[in-house]
Amino acid sequence: MNMTRTLLSRLLQGLALVLAVVVLNFLLVHAAPGDPVETIAGASGGMSDELKAQLRSQYGLDQPLPVQLGIYLGKIVQGDLGFSYFFNLPVAGLIAERIPATLLLVVSAVLAAFVIGTTLGVLSARKPNGLLSQTITVLSLVGFAAPVFWTGIMLVILLASVWPIFPVSGLRSIDATGGGGARDMLDVLHHLVLPALTLGLVYLAQYSRLARASMLDVLGADYIRTARAKGLSNRVVLYKHALRNAVLPVVTILGLQFGNVMAGAILVETVFNWPGLGRLAFEAVLRRDYPSVLGVLLFSSIVVVVMNQLTDLCYRLIDPRIKTS
């Protein structure tokens, strides 16, 4: 009962939040200088007055902003994301087509970063001043501090040009027909390595730093001393008593990151020409393709809200002390 009520109130909170985000996005996107018709005129190498006016009225851009907002909200409520000005295709379709690519990239990058990062962090917490710990610290800091696009370009130069082990960009080979067979999957995996590595490196650093710090923190706690005093082996103390608590903040970050990983994905997808949502969002902004930008932003805000709720739920599973608050 209590649980249901919490969930329901969470759901309502989430909806209100998403609505606020939609309105804010709408205003922000329209505040950018220039408009979509100007961009289409640019892509066409010039355009007449009449044609521009015609496009403006076709897209409803000749209406006052509040009216446009009202129309947009009305459509959103009905689940209609509108038509892309630039591609003249339904936004929902454009987004749906690109979700799998982004999901694949983000999930593999974050999971790899989580597993490897946490392991490295825990390892380095065992001997905080040892050689291994120092090395991991330096590498994590470099990974964290280097801009994503730089890491990406360096990896491409090294592993796609100097040693052409991996492809330069894209999701599949240029002449691939897709289809989802074993060969196609291998092709996609081959293309996935560099972008996932690039995106993962940033998060890997965060996880390893966080896991290390929180492990060290926990290891100083009273109950660990108690456990050791009981005569438990170092292994049991570390992995059974300490790790479970130490991993809690890491899970928080994991949850939050699945939501905001879009920011990193935009850069990585652009560098690697990865046909995902990030690149769609980036290009839509450059074209002032309002419906596409708003569609992607709406989608990612829903992801953030949902992920936050799931993180909360995960807390309860890992730490039974957290009930409802």
Partner 1 sequence: MPVSLPFARRRALAAMALLAAAIAWPAAAEEPKRGGTLVFGSTQSPRHLNGAVQSGIATALPSTQLFASPLRFDDKWNAQPYLAESWSLAPDGKSLTLNLRRGAVFHDGKPITSEDVAFSIMAIKANHPFTTMLGPVEKVETPDAQTAIIRMSTPHPAIVLAMSPALCPILPKHVYGDGQDLKSHPRNSTNVVGSGPFRLVEFKPGQRVVMERFDKFFIAGRPYLDKLIMNITPDTSSLMLSLERGDLQMLPFASVPTDLQRLAKNPQVQLTPAGYEGIGALNWLAFNLTKKPLSDVKVRKAIAHTLDKNFISKALMAGFAKPADGPIVASSPFAVNDLVRYPVDLKKAVELLDAAGYKAGANGERFKLSIDYLPGADDQQKTVAEYIRTQLKKVGIAVEVRTSADFPAWAKRMATKDFDMSMDSVFNWGDPVIGVHRTYLSTNIKPIVWTNTQSYSNPQIDDLLNTAGGLLDPVKRKAYYATFQKVVTDELPIVFINQIPYHTAASKKLANVPTSIWGPMSPYDEVHFK
For residue 136, give every residue at least 6 positions away whose Cβ sits within 8 Å of its Cβ, in sequence order, or none. 120, 121, 123, 124, 208, 212
State in angstroms the smallest separation of the CB of 112 from partner 1.
23
Q: Which residues contact residue 300 at a Cβ distance below 8 angstroms, ignoring those fewer than 6 apart?
A: 259, 262, 277
- Using the minimum distance from each CB to partner 1, give the nearer residue, 255 or 275: 275
b or e along 216-240 (b: 16 or more beta carbons within 10 Å of the residue's beta carbon)? bebbeeeebeebeeeeeeeeebbee
Q: How far is the CB of 77 from partner 1 (least distance, A)?
A: 24
Q: Name residue 245's amino acid.
A: N
Q: Which is nearer to partner 1, 129 or 161 (CB)?
A: 161
Q: Which residues bind partner 1 (CB under 8 A)?
A: 32-36, 38-52, 55, 58, 86-89, 94, 97, 153, 156, 160-161, 164, 167-170, 174-175, 270-271, 273, 275, 279-280, 283, 285-288
CB of 45 to partner 1, least distance (A): 5
**Is 257:110 a contact under the CB 8 Å cutoff?**
yes
What distance in Å separates the CA atoms of residue 155 and residue 162, rounded to the nearest whole number?
A: 10
CB of 150 to partner 1, least distance (A): 13
Strand partners, 90: 83
Is 111 or 153 the residue whose CB approaches partner 1 more closely?
A: 153
Q: Within 13 Å, how many C-alpha atoms sit on residue 192's CB side?
A: 18
Round the CA-based radius of gyration of the chain to a whole number and report it. Answer: 24
For residue 27, the minimal CB distance to partner 1 (Å) is 17
The minimum distance between CB 55 and partner 1, in angstroms, equals: 8
CB-based contacts of 82-85 (< 8 A; 24+ apart in sequence): 82/291, 82/295, 83/291, 84/284, 84/289, 84/291, 84/292, 85/36, 85/37, 85/40, 85/59, 85/287, 85/288, 85/289, 85/290, 85/291, 85/292
| CB nearer partner 1, residue 61 or residue 243 | 61
CB of 185 to partner 1, least distance (A): 19
Instruction: Choose between 233 and 273: whose C-beta lies nearer to partner 1.
Output: 273
Residue with Cβ nearer partner 1 (175 or 222)? 175
Contact assessment for residue 112 and residue 200, using Cβ atoms and an 8 Å cutoff: yes
Q: Would you say 97 or 312 has its CB closer to partner 1?
A: 97
Query: Closest approach of Cβ 149 to partner 1, in Å?
Result: 10
- Distance, in Å, from the CA atom of 105 to the CA atom of 171, rounded to the nearest integer, reads 10
Nearer to partner 1, 218 or 284 (CB): 284
